[in-house]
Structure 1
């Protein structure tokens, strides 16, 4: 499906937040997806993921997660210096500030004329996977896809300690968790802690495991695994279409 691309501006905490939006070109109403990037924000690797998802029939809205700290349009390069910069921005952003972005984008999706307001989901990668998980605390979120989410199992997210494990019972929608078994950032014990907490909370969830490293769906890095990424995409799109149909 062909898509359109644009940038919109939202105000959160009296600050400007740029949101990159990709949507199906054919006229109609489609499910909306709140999309979270990794620490490098919306560079080519991330916008290609946004665009790909939109091509399956979703209106995808991706905010710049560090809009309080970085100038609008900033792309952090995925090199050693960029890793330091991105991790520092992640550390300096308060958990409450991350959480405030979700309802702002959800509200925008619900009022957009191309979005089915009752069909809202979320998706994210790395830190964005954790943010997508927390976005699922919002009652409007019917489906959440969390790809190799960091910090859920140990509470690492911005300033302070995240209470994500303790709040899983608040999730009303369905979850799809995507992990790489070779991922040092979410080791087996971390995955098990997440699964145990989801099960105890009675949260509807599905776990996908691939013999792959962290960020294996990011196509510009040495850890990219095209076969695992394609397999994950097939599962992700089927899940979103089923839940948001």
Structure 2
């Protein structure tokens, strides 16, 4: 795989980040990937490289760019129980400052960047994300139904998106929840709203997982949950994205 540093012009500056794509040239379906709240780091690069290995151009922006380039927060190599409080103390103000207006403004810039890349195939793209990045992915798909063919969010606070917004979706969607991410009542309400939207969708709790199960540099990591995530994400992209 090829990894390239990118700089995406936005309304508020320039978002740094990286793109992962197959070697050998050609055009590939585009995927916008949002990292979790800990931001860009080796495990996120590994996820993007794995996805690119299946034939996709994967753009991973630093959505905290307003606070500085990657790494915005210096993270330990492993985010365990003893370091998690200090890390959260640093990242939570960044997450709170990333308002919906900022999310939507940036999403427009990221999609515009993908559409202009010669390595990206014409047509709609997919958006995926982890933790708060999954919420950003969903908000991006809601705001740009004509440009997003698929959205996948994993252990994400997607319950924050209400029925009126879900009704605007046209993308096929998958939500992979950790046990405990949502209360049973909240999950049932979310699933009812998703069904009422009338789109192709799956929303499931991954058994035995806790929040953050895809991230191998945390105590939350669950190998079976990560494998299940790939068995849901890859077929979704294969069904929905146009190949050159």
Show the counterpart of 1:129: 134
Q: Aligned pair 1:84/2:80, yes or no? A: no
Aligned positions of 1:51-66 closer than 5 A: 51-66=49-64
Contact (CA 8 Å) 2:172, 2:199: kept in 1 or not? Answer: yes
Structure 1 counterpart SS, 2:220:
coil
Q: Could you tell me which residue of structure 2 aligns to residue 106 of structure 1?
A: 111
Q: What is the count of residue pairs matched by the alignment? A: 231
Contact 2:177–2:206 (CA<8 Å) still a contact in 1?
A: yes
Match of 2:204 among 208, 221, 226: 208
Corresponding residue SS for 1:237:
helix
CA offsets, 1:17-42, max 9 Å, x none?
11211011122211101110111110
Structure 1 outlier segments of 4+, above 6 Å: none
Decide whether the 8 Å contact of 1:109 with 1:117 is kept in 2. Answer: no
Displacement of 1:218 in angstroms is: 0.5
What residue is the counterpart of 2:190 in the other structure?
A: 194
TM-score using structure 2 length: 0.89
Quote how far apart the aligned CAs of 1:222 are. 1.2
Give the drift of 1:119: 3.7
SS in 2 for 1:25: coil
Q: Give RMSD over aligned pairs.
A: 1.5
Distance 2:27 2:191 in 1: 34
State the secondary structure of the residue aligned to 1:50: helix
| Distance in 2 separating the partners of 1:191 and 1:221 | 25
TM-score, normalisation: structure 1? 0.89
Question: 1:43 aligns to what?
Answer: 41
* Equivalent pair of 1:132/1:144 in contact (CA under 8 Å): yes
Residue 106 of structure 1 aligns to a residue in which SS?
Answer: helix
Q: 1:148 aligns with which of 119, 138, 155?
A: 155
SS of residue matched to 2:29? strand
Given that 1:43 and 1:75 are in contact with CA atoms closer than 8 Å, whether structure 2 keeps it comes out as no
Unmatched tracts of structure 2, length 5 or more: none
Q: Which runs of 5+ in 1 are unaligned?
A: 156-162
User: In the alignment, which residue of structure 1 is the partner of 2:216?
Assistant: 219
Residues 1:113 and 1:221: Cα distance change in structure 2 (over 3 Å): same
Of stretches 91-100 and 127-136 in structure 1, the one that deviates more from structure 2 is 91-100
Separation (CA, whole Å) in 1 of partners of 2:204 and 2:56: 22
Partner of 1:158: none
Distance in 2 between residues matched to 1:42 and 1:199, nearest whole Å: 33
